[in-house]
């Protein structure tokens, strides 16, 4: 893809086939838990420029509050934002249909060889890399907020309560979010 | 296993946990394990652990695939399809409805404030889940170095993550991590 094609107007209607293939790619590339966010951001923000960094961060935030596999939620929301109902269907089908068939076939073969050391070592190396990529994605999505000290404070609190205090996700989410929103609200009224 | 009500019970249970799995499917995994291993004895703990490891390491929608493998164990191919639908169907509907609602009020003042407060907390959580994954994966110093290098390269360049994943997998396969 050339640079010209990448910088097209975001107002143009995104073709349904492009939504399908984009989320097909996101799905096939997202290895390991949370990997999907890395690829969804890479495709929707960096490569296709369908969304800005902060529009994407909004969608990820909304999805965190909903039940279900978050990354499917991202496909639902990006599809709905760009093309409405039919866009959601295109994005979700791209995300699920082909990868599911491949995944089931590969997985059933893999289940036979799960005990092999080489297979385990390769998976270990991929997992270590995937962890680093996820950390970088979180930092990139936080960057638009770097000028608000309270934003950084709440990001660090959320990070610390999970990583060091080992509190459950739901407790951190529903404990910090209302507080953070309340403070953002009072900052906005003062400004 | 041959009980005809087994696939129905599994599908109904998955649809139910799918609608309440706030924070993603990993949060309800302990519940699913209890249901299929302890309550119904459809598979052993070892089966469940193997399915988890594989679902985590093959590309694709891994939690949906994981539940499909569980369905496969109980009822073969139809069980896999039914479990997949039960896992993503209810939550997709909820996602769509809430996105529509959220988008309708996107210029409302309360939502701008909510967004301002919400995004930093969520991104802190995303970084934390990267750290949790790193803790599980980084069993040696070279592995820590791989995680750090991947994060730094991803931050500093626009290199495709695919190259980094391939390299990481190759280093692991050579037994260097």
Integer Cα distance of B160 and B130 in angstroms? 18
Chain A residues near residue B24 by CB distance under 8 angstroms: 64, 68-70
Which region among A34-48, B8-22, B48-62 has the lowest average model confidence (pLDDT)?
Answer: B48-62
Q: Which DSSP symbol is given to A7?
A: T
pLDDT band at A8 (very low <50, low <70, confident <90, very high): very low
Q: Nearest by CB to B61, which of A96, A129, A154?
A: A96
Chain A residues in contact with B64 by the CB 8 A cut-off are 69, 72, 96, 100
Which residue is closest to B86 within chain A, CA to CA?
A68
| Residues B1-50 pLDDT 10s | 456 688 899 999 999 888 877 656 666 777 888 889 889 999 888 777 77
Per the listing, tokens 């496969």 go with: B72
Is the confidence at residue B87, as pLDDT, over 50? yes
Q: Please, which residues have CB within 8 angstroms of residue B21's CB and are 6 or more apart in sequence?
A: A67, A68, A69, B27, B28, B91
Place of tokens 């730094």: B152
Q: What is the CA radius of gyration of chain B?
A: 20
Q: Is B97 on the interface with A (CB under 8 A)?
A: no
Contacts of B54 in chain A (CB under 8 A): 107, 110-111, 114
Q: A110 pLDDT band (50/70/90 cuts)?
A: confident
Q: Chains A and B: how many Cβ contacts under 8 Å? A: 372
Q: Which of A18, A87, A24, A79 is nearest to A48 (CA)?
A: A18
CA dist A107 and A119 (Å) reads 13
Say yes or no to pLDDT of A11 above 80: no
The stretch A49-55 carries a mean pLDDT of 93
Separation in Å, CA of A14 to nearest CA in chain B: 18
Least Cα separation, residue B158 to chain A (angstroms): 8
pLDDT tens-digit readout, A82-100: 999 999 999 999 999 999 9
Distances (CA, A) of B159 to A64, A138, B129, B156, B164: 27, 17, 22, 9, 8
Using left for φ > 0, alpha for ψ between -120 and 50, and beta otherwise, residue A76 falls in alpha
- Tokens for B154, please give them: 């991803």
Q: Do A158 and B120 touch (CB under 8 A)?
A: yes
Mutate to test the interface with A, among B27, B55, B62, B109 (most CBs of A within 10 A): B62
| Contact state of A122 with B169 under an 8 Å Cβ cutoff | yes
A51 neighbors A81 (Cβ within 8 angstroms): yes
Percent of chain B at pLDDT > 70 equals 93
CA distance A159 to chain B (A): 5
The verdict on B22 touching A (C-beta cutoff 8 Å) is yes
Which residues does A158 contact at the CB level (< 8 Å), separation at least 6? A172, A176, B120, B121, B122, B123, B124, B125, B128
Q: Are B75 and B5 in contact (CB under 8 A)?
A: no
In the prediction, which pLDDT does B27 show? Answer: 64
pLDDT band at A4 (very low <50, low <70, confident <90, very high): very low
Residues of B whose CB is below 8 A from A150? 120
The answer on pLDDT for B65 being more than 80 is yes
* Average pLDDT rounded to a whole number, residues B136-165: 90
Check residue B142 and give its pLDDT: 94
Q: Do B154 and A128 touch (CB under 8 A)?
A: no
- Is residue B59's pLDDT more than 80? no
Question: The tokens of B170 are what?
Answer: 């190759």
As a whole number of Å, the end-to-end CA separation of chain B is 41
| Bridge partners, residue A67, by sequence | B22
Look at residues B16, B19, B27, B134 and name the one whose alpha carbon lies nearest to residue A168: B27
Please state, in angstroms and rounded to a whole number, the distance separating the CA atoms of residues A57 and A177. Answer: 15
């Amino acid at each position: 893809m050339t640079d010209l094609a990448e910088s097209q107007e975001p107002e143009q209607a995104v073709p349904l086939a492009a939504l399908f293939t984009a989320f097909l790619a996101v799905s096939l590339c997202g290895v390991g838990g949370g990997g999907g966010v890395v690829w969804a951001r890479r495709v929707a923000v960096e490569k296709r420029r369908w969304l800005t960094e902060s529009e994407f961060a909004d969608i990820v935030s909304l999805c965190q509050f909903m039940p279900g596999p978050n990354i499917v939620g991202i496909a639902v929301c990006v599809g709905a934002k760009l093309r409405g109902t039919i866009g959601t269907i295109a994005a979700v089908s791209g995300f699920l249909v082909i990868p599911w068939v491949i995944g089931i076939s590969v997985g059933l073969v893999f289940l036979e060889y799960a005990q092999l050391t080489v297979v385990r070592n390769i998976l270990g190396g991929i997992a270590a890399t995937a962890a680093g990529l996820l950390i970088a994605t979180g930092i990139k999505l936080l960057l638009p907020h770097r000028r608000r000290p309270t934003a950084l404070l709440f990001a660090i609190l959320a990070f610390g309560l999970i990583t060091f205090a080992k509190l459950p996700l739901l407790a951190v989410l529903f404990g910090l979010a209302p507080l953070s929103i309340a403070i953002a609200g009072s900052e906005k009224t003062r400004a | 296993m041959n009980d005809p009500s087994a696939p129905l019970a599994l599908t109904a249970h998955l649809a139910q946990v799918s609608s309440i799995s706030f924070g993603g499917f990993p949060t309800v995994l302990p519940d699913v394990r209890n249901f299929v291993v302890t309550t119904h004895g459809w598979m052993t703990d070892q089966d469940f652990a193997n399915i988890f490891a594989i679902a985590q390491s093959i590309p694709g929608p891994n939690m949906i695939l994981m539940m499909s493998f569980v369905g496969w164990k109980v009822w073969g191919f139809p069980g896999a399809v039914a479990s997949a639908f039960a896992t993503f169907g209810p939550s997709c509907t909820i996602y769509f409805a809430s996105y529509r609602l959220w988008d309708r009020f996107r210029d409302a003042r309360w939502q701008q404030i909510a967004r301002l407060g919400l995004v930093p907390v969520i991104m802190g959580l995303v970084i934390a889940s990267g750290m949790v994954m790193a803790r599980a994966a980084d069993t040696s110093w070279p592995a820590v170095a791989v995680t750090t290098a991947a994060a730094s390269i991803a931050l500093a360049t626009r290199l495709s993550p695919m190259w980094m994943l391939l390299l990481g997998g190759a280093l692991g396969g050579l037994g260097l991590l």
